C-alpha cells in the first residue's frame, strides 16, 4: 500500500511536468503568432516567392488544361499553346551539360582521393539500397492489389515498341561510359540498331551427282552448294541526347587527376569553379521564368490527351497501384531513412526541395531539374557544395528509384493481364533486371518505357503489351521523376551527414596549407607578373 502511495506522486508529478511543458509551448506559440508583423509576412513571402509561384503555376496549369479541353484544339494549336513550356525545357537542358561537368570536376578536385572514395562508396550503397527497396515495394504492392484482373482484350493500346535485347542494352551502357569522342558525347549516345542481312551457308556434300552437276551446269552447282540465310544482326548506331553517363565517368576521372596535381592543377580547378558559379547564376535568372513555363507544360499536356475515357477499369487500378507504391517510397521510406541516419526532421529538409520537386513534376526529366535541385540543396538546405557537386550529377544519371519501382510493378501487371503466373525465380529475375535497367534509363522523359523491354524479355513476357500502359505513362512519368529527384536530394543529405568528419578534416588541412601554397606561388607570380610589380596592391583584381 505504501509502495502504491509512493508511486502515485511520481506519476502525478510526471503528468504535471508534461502538462506544464504543453502549456509553455502553447504560450510560446501564442506569443510568436501575436508578435508576427506585416514585415514578417512580407519577408516570408519574399523568401518563398519562387516556391509559392511554382505551386500556384501547377494548380493554374491543371485548371487551364482541363478548361481548354472542351475547345478540341488541333495538334498545331496545342504545340503553339505549349511553346512557353517548351522554352523552359530548352533553357534547363542548355545548362545541364556544363553543370554536370563543372560540378563533378570541382566537387571531386576539392576532395582528396581517400575522402572522395569514401563518399563515392556511401553514395553507391545508398543508391543500390533505395533502388532495391523501391523494387520490392513495387512487387509487394502489385501482388497485393492485383490490378491486372480480367483480360486485355478491351484495353486501349497506344504507340509502338522498339525491340532490344538485354545483352546489347547492357553492352550499350558500358560503351556509353567510355565515349570515343567527348564532343559527340555532348549530343549523342551510342545505341545498337538491328538490320537484316543475307548470309551464305555452305552445304558439305560428297555426292558424285553434285560433281556431275558442276561439270554440266556451273550455275546450277552454285545454287546446290550454297544457300542464302537471312539473319538479324546488331549494328552500331546512335540516338540524339546528351551521353550523361560518359560525361560523368570522364568528369570524375578528370576531377581526381586535377585534385592529385595540387599546385599544377589549381588553374583548372579555378576555371571549373568559376564556370560552376556562372551556371548557378544563370539558373537563378531562369527561375523567374520557371513558374510560367511549368504552367504551360502541364496545361499543354492535359490539352494534348486524346481520350480521358481510356483511363478506366484495369488501367485505372494500375495507375492507383503505381501512385500508392511511389507514395510509400517517397513519403514513408525515404524520410524514415533520412531520420534514422541523420536524426534530423526530414520534413524540414523536404520543405526546402519543394521547387525542385514541382519542377520535376512539370518537366518529367530529372536531368532538366538538376540546376533547380542544386539551388534548393545548396542555398535553402545548406548542404555542402562538395557533396552536392559529386552526389547530384551521379544520382541524376544512375539513381532512379521511381523508375525501378515502376518497371517491376508494370512487368508484373502485364503478366497478370496475360494470366501468366510468375514463380519466385521469375519475380527475383524481374527485381534484378528492373534494378539494372533503371541505372541504364537516361534522365530523359519516358526513358523507362525503353528499358521496360529488357525487363519483360528477361521473363518471356510479350513486349508489345507495353502499348497497354502508354496511355497513362505521361502522367506516371512525372510522378516517378519527382520520386527520383527526391531520392537524389535525400541521398545528398545523408552522404553529407556520413561524410562530415572527412569534410571537417579536409577543411582543417586546407586551412593549414594556405600559407605554404601562397609562399610557393610567390616566385611564380614575380616571374610572370614582372610588368605588374610596380602597380599598387589595390589595383589587383580579386578572384
* 10-30 average pLDDT score: 75
Is residue 211's pLDDT more than 80?
A: no
pLDDT at res. 523: 40
How many Å apart are CA 469 and CA 410, to the nearest integer?
8
Q: Hey, which residues does 229 pair with through a beta bridge?
A: 199
How many Å apart are CA 332 and CA 319, to the nearest integer?
19
How many Å apart are CA 221 and CA 438, to the nearest integer?
54
* 189-197 average pLDDT score: 81
pTM, 2 dp: 0.77
Q: Which helix (H) or strand (E) holds 330?
A: none
pLDDT at res. 537: 40
More confident residue, 66 or 115: 66
How many Å apart are CA 252 and CA 222, to the nearest integer?
58
pLDDT tens digits, 381-436 = 999 998 999 899 988 888 889 988 998 999 999 888 888 888 888 888 888 888 88
> Where is average pLDDT lowest: 338-347, 438-447, 490-499?
438-447
- Burial category of 399 from C-beta neighbours within 10 Å (exposed 0-12, middle 13-18, buried 19 and up): buried
pLDDT at res. 268: 92
Q: Hey, which residues does 196 pair with through a beta bridge?
A: 232
Is residue 240's pLDDT more than 50?
A: yes
Residue pair 406/322 in contact (Cβ under 8 Å)? The answer is yes
* 45-65 average pLDDT score: 86
* 73-91 average pLDDT score: 91
How many Å apart are CA 386 and CA 394, to the nearest integer?
13
SS (H, E, C) 115-184: HHHHHHHHHHHHHHHHHHHHHHHHHHHHHHHCCCCCCCCCCCCCCCCCCCCHHHHHHHHHHHHCCCCHHH
* 122-136 average pLDDT score: 93
pLDDT at res. 536: 43
Q: Is 10 helix (H, G, I), strand (E, B) or coil?
A: helix
* 467-476 average pLDDT score: 82
Q: In which band, very low, low, confident or very high, does the pLDDT at 463 lie, cut at 50, 70 and 90?
A: confident
Give the single-character DSSP code of 468.
Answer: G
pLDDT at res. 39: 76
Could you give phi then psi for residue 233, rounded to 5 degrees?
A: -120, 150
Q: Is 235 helix (H, G, I), strand (E, B) or coil?
A: strand
Which domains are assigned to the chain?
A: 48-187+241-517 (1.10.3860.10), 198-235 (no CATH)
* 327-341 average pLDDT score: 96
Is residue 76's pLDDT more than 60?
A: yes
Q: Which helix (H) or strand (E) holds 242?
A: none
* 452-475 average pLDDT score: 82
Residue pair 393/254 in contact (Cβ under 8 Å)? The answer is no
Residue pair 176/157 in contact (Cβ under 8 Å)? The answer is no
pLDDT tens digits, 284-331 = 888 889 899 999 999 998 888 766 665 566 788 889 999 999 999 999
More confident residue, 226 or 195: 195
* 144-154 average pLDDT score: 73
How many Å apart are CA 42 and CA 49, to the nearest integer?
10
Q: In which band, very low, low, confident or very high, does the pLDDT at 237 lie, cut at 50, 70 and 90?
A: confident
More confident residue, 67 or 514: 67
How many Å apart are CA 378 and CA 359, to the nearest integer?
17
N residues, the chain: 543
Angle between helices 470-498 and 354-363 (to 10 degrees): 150
* 254-282 average pLDDT score: 90
Is residue 11's pLDDT more than 70?
A: no
Q: What is the dihedral of CA 367, 373, 375, 378, to 10 degrees?
A: -130
How many Å apart are CA 536 and CA 288, to the nearest integer?
41
N-to-C CA span, the chain? 78
* 237-245 average pLDDT score: 83
Q: Hey, which residues does 188 pair with through a beta bridge?
A: 240
Residue-averaged pLDDT of the chain = 80
Is residue 88's pLDDT more than 50?
A: yes
Q: Is 503 helix (H, G, I), strand (E, B) or coil?
A: helix
Q: Is 267 helix (H, G, I), strand (E, B) or coil?
A: helix
Q: What share of the chain is helix, strand, coil (3-state, %, to 5)?
A: 75, 5, 20
More confident residue, 348 or 461: 348
The residues near 200 (Cβ < 8 Å, ≥ 6 apart) are 226, 227, 228, 229
From residue 121, how far is each of 332, 491, 505 by CA, in Å? 24, 12, 18
* 117-144 average pLDDT score: 92
More confident residue, 153 or 173: 173
pLDDT at res. 539: 38
Amino acid at each position: 500500500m505504501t509502495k502504491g502511495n509512493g508511486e502515485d506522486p511520481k506519476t502525478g508529478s510526471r503528468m504535471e511536468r508534461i502538462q506544464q511543458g504543453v502549456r509553455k509551448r502553447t504560450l510560446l506559440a501564442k506569443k510568436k503568432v501575436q508578435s508576427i508583423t506585416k514585415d514578417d509576412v512580407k519577408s516570408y513571402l519574399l523568401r518563398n516567392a519562387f516556391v509559392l509561384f511554382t505551386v500556384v503555376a501547377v494548380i493554374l496549369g491543371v485548371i487551364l488544361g482541363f478548361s481548354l479541353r472542351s475547345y478540341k484544339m488541333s495538334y498545331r494549336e496545342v504545340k503553339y499553346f505549349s511553346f512557353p513550356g517548351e522554352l523552359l525545357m530548352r533553357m534547363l537542358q542548355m545548362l545541364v551539360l556544363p553543370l554536370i561537368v563543372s560540378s563533378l570536376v570541382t566537387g571531386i578536385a576539392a576532395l582528396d582521393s581517400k575522402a572522395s572514395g569514401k563518399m563515392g562508396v556511401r553514395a553507391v550503397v545508398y543508391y543500390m539500397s533505395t533502388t532495391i527497396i523501391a523494387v520490392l515495394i513495387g512487387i509487394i504492392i502489385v501482388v497485393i492489389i492485383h490490378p491486372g484482373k480480367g483480360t486485355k482484350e478491351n484495353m486501349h493500346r497506344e504507340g509502338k515498341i522498339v525491340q532490344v535485347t538485354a545483352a546489347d542494352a547492357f553492352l550499350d551502357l558500358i560503351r556509353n561510359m567510355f565515349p570515343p569522342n567527348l564532343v559527340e558525347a555532348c549530343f549523342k549516345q551510342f545505341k545498337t540498331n538491328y538490320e537484316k542481312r543475307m548470309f551464305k551457308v555452305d552445304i558439305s556434300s560428297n555426292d558424285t551427282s553434285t560433281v556431275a552437276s558442276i561439270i554440266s551446269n556451273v550455275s546450277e552447282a552454285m545454287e546446290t552448294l550454297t544457300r542464302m540465310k537471312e539473319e538479324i544482326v546488331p549494328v552500331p548506331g546512335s540516338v540524339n541526347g546528351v551521353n550523361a553517363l560518359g560525361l560523368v565517368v570522364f568528369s570524375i576521372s578528370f576531377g581526381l587527376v586535377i585534385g592529385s596535381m595540387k599546385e599544377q592543377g589549381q588553374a583548372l580547378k579555378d576555371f571549373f569553379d568559376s564556370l560552376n558559379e556562372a551556371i548557378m547564376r544563370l539558373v537563378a535568372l531562369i527561375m523567374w521564368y520557371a513558374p510560367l513555363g511549368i504552367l504551360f507544360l502541364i496545361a499543354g499536356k492535359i490539352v494534348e490527351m486524346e481520350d480521358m475515357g481510356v483511363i478506366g477499369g484495369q488501367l485505372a487500378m494500375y495507375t492507383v497501384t503505381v501512385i500508392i507504391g511511389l507514395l510509400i517510397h517517397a513519403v514513408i521510406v525515404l524520410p524514415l531513412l533520412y531520420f534514422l541516419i541523420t536524426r534530423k526532421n526530414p520534413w524540414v529538409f523536404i520543405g526546402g526541395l519543394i521547387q525542385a520537386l514541382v519542377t520535376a513534376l512539370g518537366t518529367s526529366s530529372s536531368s532538366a531539374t538538376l540546376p533547380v535541385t542544386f539551388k534548393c540543396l545548396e542555398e535553402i538546405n545548406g548542404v555542402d557544395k562538395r557533396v552536392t557537386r559529386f552526389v547530384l550529377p551521379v544520382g541524376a544519371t544512375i539513381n532512379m528509384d521511381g523508375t525501378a519501382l515502376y518497371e517491376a510493378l508494370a512487368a508484373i501487371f502485364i503478366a497478370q493481364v496475360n494470366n501468366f503466373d510468375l514463380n519466385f525465380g521469375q519475380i527475383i529475375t524481374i527485381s534484378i533486371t528492373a534494378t539494372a535497367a533503371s541505372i541504364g534509363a537516361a534522365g530523359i522523359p519516358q526513358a523507362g518505357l525503353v528499358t521496360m523491354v529488357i525487363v519483360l524479355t528477361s521473363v518471356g513476357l510479350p513486349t508489345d503489351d507495353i502499348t497497354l500502359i502508354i496511355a497513362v505513362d505521361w502522367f506516371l512519368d512525372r510522378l516517378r521523376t519527382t520520386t527520383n529527384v527526391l531520392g537524389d536530394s535525400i541521398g545528398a543529405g545523408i552522404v553529407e551527414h556520413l561524410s562530415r568528419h572527412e569534410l571537417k578534416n579536409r577543411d582543417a588541412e586546407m586551412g593549414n596549407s594556405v600559407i605554404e601554397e601562397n609562399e610557393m606561388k610567390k616566385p611564380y607570380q614575380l616571374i610572370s607578373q614582372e610588368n605588374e610589380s610596380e602597380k599598387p596592391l589595390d589595383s589587383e583584381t580579386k578572384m
